[in-house]
A and B are shown apart, each in its own frame.
Chain A
Amino acid sequence: MIMDTPRWLLLLSIALMGLIAFAAFSYDTPRAIPDAHPKFAAMEIGGQRARDDVEHWHLGLGLGLVMIAYFTAFLTLAAGHTSHGTSLRIATLAGAGLFAGAFALMMHASREYAVLSENPTTLGPFPAPTTYLCAGVWLTPLVFTAIYCFGFNLWFAAEDDGNLVTTQSAEGAIN
């Protein structure tokens, strides 16, 4: 590997901070509070913030994809504990690809939904992009749960438990 995972995490942390700072400066009214509902005081509506989001759609896509890369880097930290680390990294990256694809699909659908002129219809229980949010962003990461459950013996339980921590220097430790 060119860099170890923590260095990737550092790089991605800086990238995320940069994207957030860029977002804060690129919106015309970044500090605008959500518009109040015209009839009901305790409710908000999308208003100006929603219109600005359509213009900055690409920023959300970039931010989301970097975030998924960040989560993936975190997940691959676990690969350091197994002699089958490469295959765990490959499985995790495959899952991340699926996750990123589902997120991109949700982003595309959300832009379509926002610019649609006629009344939108529902796809399942919600409008299409929100259904993609549930199926794509909420449920797709279950692929990592599947990796954990089905690959547990190979990737997570195969480690030599006795080799960990037991011989750490007691100097300065609690006892």
Chain B
Amino acid sequence: MEAYRAQIIIACVGFYFVLCIVVGLWAMRRTHSSKDFFMAGRDLGIIVTAIAIFSSAMSGFGFVGGPGLVYRMGISSLWIIASTTIGYALCFFLLGKQLRKWAVARDSISLPDVISARYDSRLAGALTAIAIVLGVMGYLATQIAAMSTVLQSLVIGLTSFGELPLEYFAIFSTALLVFYCVTGGIIASVYTDLVQGVIMMVAAVMVFLAAIWLFDDGLPGISQILMNDDRASMSPWGTKGMVGCLSWYFVFALGVAGQPHVITKLMMTRRAEDARYTLPATILGYMITALLWITLGLAMRALVVSGAYPELVSADRAAPEFLQHFAHPILAGVVFAGLFAAIMSTADAFLNIGAAAIVHDLPVAVTGKHLKNELLWARIVTVLLGILAMLFALYTGDMVALLGAFGWGTFAAALVPTVAIGLNWQRATSAAACAAIISSLVVNFALKVSSVSIPLSIDPGAIALLVSIALFILVSLMSPSHVNQTTNSDDAA
């Protein structure tokens, strides 16, 4: 079986791709309107929503970058994982019912829609849409680049193909993504998320078992090897340091409530009461998939420091090298399918919210009217967005990284105050929402462009988030009170 390793991996990944296409075709039959396309007809059940939420948050970064961080820094990145329990609790406490209620009451089909309605401000909605489009381009281009690179490295294993150019794989990746997003919209996206989430969980558990079976004493044995090499790397702070780790914890915990690809799912549920069970299911799913992140990274670091495996060229090679040399071919196939699942579940969510921002939110913000034949335009723009992101990924180099800066931290700084506080505080004003969104874009972009070295490895997103929240509350308190007696009547209680 070892002789056919590359073929087995390709077969597993190929089977998964076919599954995505089938789901896309099935979802096409259920997509009749732009509400279906963007909001899945507001008919998602508990398990589908929970898996869609956690699999959108756990991108390819969790499967490749995460183990790489552990290999390089030791325990530090456990703070990102640990933030999920408080993060999702915050998200559901503040938005679990609120977002859905606004969406239903105003028939909103996107986050900027809700923000426009909440603040009675087209400008606030337009700024949110712009922040989303900028973030989408960065995220999407990064995901397409990652998918193409991994596909290329897999096909190189099949000697009959030789070395094909990266462009071929980028075109294939984009075509596959766009196909099921165009045919089935968000319905295809969330149901492929379901498949993807299950594959990710299975892959994570299998890798966890494979990694601990490599060492006589399992996880304690790995810890002992690493402590003997460098005690600090196994301390709670790893090598990033105390303040840096706490800044990660802060921005990832609070930031969940500002991720449009995550919180938009809360607007799609069948019943508001489902949120009660969606929260624990989401956390459980994320915790299971995080097993891969931690154990694979620790196992590779222990294998290298103990001399059982040669030094890695780069930390990001931790996951691929482990799968290539220590995993059964079928396990490697499932995990590679899981990796594509992680990449694609994030990418499809961004394609959908990006298309919504362009087709639905910006025209409304500028003209005050919806486009005619919105569903057709949504499909056209999804194709165009996919192509544009692919071109960004292939030909703009640093620009992708620059737009990538409009990632987690920018969404957190822009949307946590605007949505999480704003939907729960009657006094919040549209001027404050605009100030928070603009400050998040300016602070994050300025920190990225100027390449400022922030002391103690503090995450720039944490600074941007604190600034935007403080600004949001200050501006709201200083603005003339625009109290709508019925918007949040219970606030007055």
Instruction: List chain A positions with a Cβ less than 8 A from chain B.
Output: 5-7, 9-10, 13-14, 16-17, 20, 23-24, 27, 30-31, 34-35, 37, 39-47, 49-50, 52-53, 56-57, 59-60, 63-64, 67, 70-71, 74-75, 77-78, 80-83, 85, 99, 106, 110, 113-114, 119-120, 122, 124-127, 129-130, 132-134, 137-142, 144-145, 148-149, 152, 156-157, 159-161, 163-169, 171-174
A71 and B314: CB pair below 8 A?
Answer: no
- Candidate in B94, B113, B219, B227 with the most chain A CB atoms within 10 angstroms: B227
Nearest Cβ distance between residue A10 and chain B, in whole angstroms? 4
User: Please, which residues of chain A bring their CB within 8 A of the CB of B218?
Assistant: 125
Q: Which of B53-61, B186-194, B345-353, B465-473 sits within the interface? A: B465-473
The 4 closest A-B pairs by CB, nearest first: A46-B232, A30-B455, A125-B219, A50-B232
Identity of the chain A residue whose Cβ is nearest the Cβ of B106 in the assembled complex: A165
| Interface status of B233 (Cβ within 8 A of chain A) | yes
Nearest Cβ distance between residue B478 and chain A, in whole angstroms? 11
Contact flag A50-B239 (CB < 8 Å), given A166-B105, A168-B486: yes
Q: Given A122-B227, A130-B75, A171-B120, 5 other A-B contacts at CB below 8 A?
A: A17-B466, A74-B420, A81-B488, A152-B275, A159-B97
B75 and A133: CB pair below 8 A?
Answer: yes
User: Please, which residues of chain A bring their CB within 8 A of the CB of B122?
Assistant: 172, 174
B243 and A126: CB pair below 8 A?
Answer: no
User: Please, which residues of chain A bring their CB within 8 A of the CB of B78?
Assistant: 130, 133-134, 138
Contact flag A71-B90 (CB < 8 Å), given A20-B243, A156-B96, A172-B122: yes
Identity of the chain A residue whose Cβ is nearest the Cβ of B492 in the assembled complex: A80
Instruction: List chain B positions with a Cβ less than 8 A from chain A.
Output: 71-75, 78-79, 81-82, 85-86, 88-90, 92-94, 96-98, 101-102, 105-106, 108, 113, 116-117, 120-122, 125, 218-220, 223-224, 227-228, 230-243, 246-247, 249-250, 253-254, 272-273, 275-277, 279-280, 283, 301, 304-305, 311-315, 364, 420-421, 424-425, 427-428, 453, 455-458, 462-463, 466-467, 469-470, 473-474, 476-477, 484, 486-491, 493
Q: Is the interface of A mostly helix, strand, loop or mixed?
A: helix
User: Please, which residues of chain A bring their CB within 8 A of the CB of B305?
Assistant: 39-40, 43
A110 and B474: CB pair below 8 A?
Answer: no
Contact of B101 among A23, A82, A142, A164 (CB under 8 A): A164
A119 to B223, CA, bound (A): 12
Identity of the chain A residue whose Cβ is nearest the Cβ of B116 in the assembled complex: A174
Identity of the chain A residue whose Cβ is nearest the Cβ of B234 in the assembled complex: A127
User: Please, which residues of chain B bring their CB within 8 A of the CB of A41?
Assistant: 311
User: Please, which residues of chain A bring their CB within 8 A of the CB of B75?
Assistant: 126, 130, 133
A71 to B301, CA, bound (A): 34
A124 and B82: CB pair below 8 A?
Answer: no
Contact of A122 among B223, B458, B474 (CB under 8 A): B223
- Candidate in B101, B219, B455 with the most chain A CB atoms within 10 angstroms: B455
Identity of the chain B residue whose Cβ is nearest the Cβ of A34 in the assembled complex: B239
A45 and B86: CB pair below 8 A?
Answer: no
A113 and B235: CB pair below 8 A?
Answer: yes
A174 and B117: CB pair below 8 A?
Answer: yes
User: Please, which residues of chain A bring their CB within 8 A of the CB of B490?
Assistant: 80-83, 159-160, 163-164
A50 to B102, CA, bound (A): 47
Nearest Cβ distance between residue A39 and chain B, in whole angstroms? 8
A164 to B114, CA, bound (A): 13
User: Please, which residues of chain A bring their CB within 8 A of the CB of B102?
Assistant: 164-165
What are some 17 contacts across the A-B interface (CB < 8 A)? A5-B425, A9-B473, A16-B466, A31-B455, A42-B312, A74-B94, A80-B493, A81-B488, A119-B227, A130-B78, A145-B85, A156-B93, A159-B97, A165-B487, A167-B486, A171-B120, A172-B121
Nearest Cβ distance between residue A17 and chain B, in whole angstroms? 5
A74 to B87, CA, bound (A): 11
B86 and A43: CB pair below 8 A?
Answer: no
A16 to B250, CA, bound (A): 11
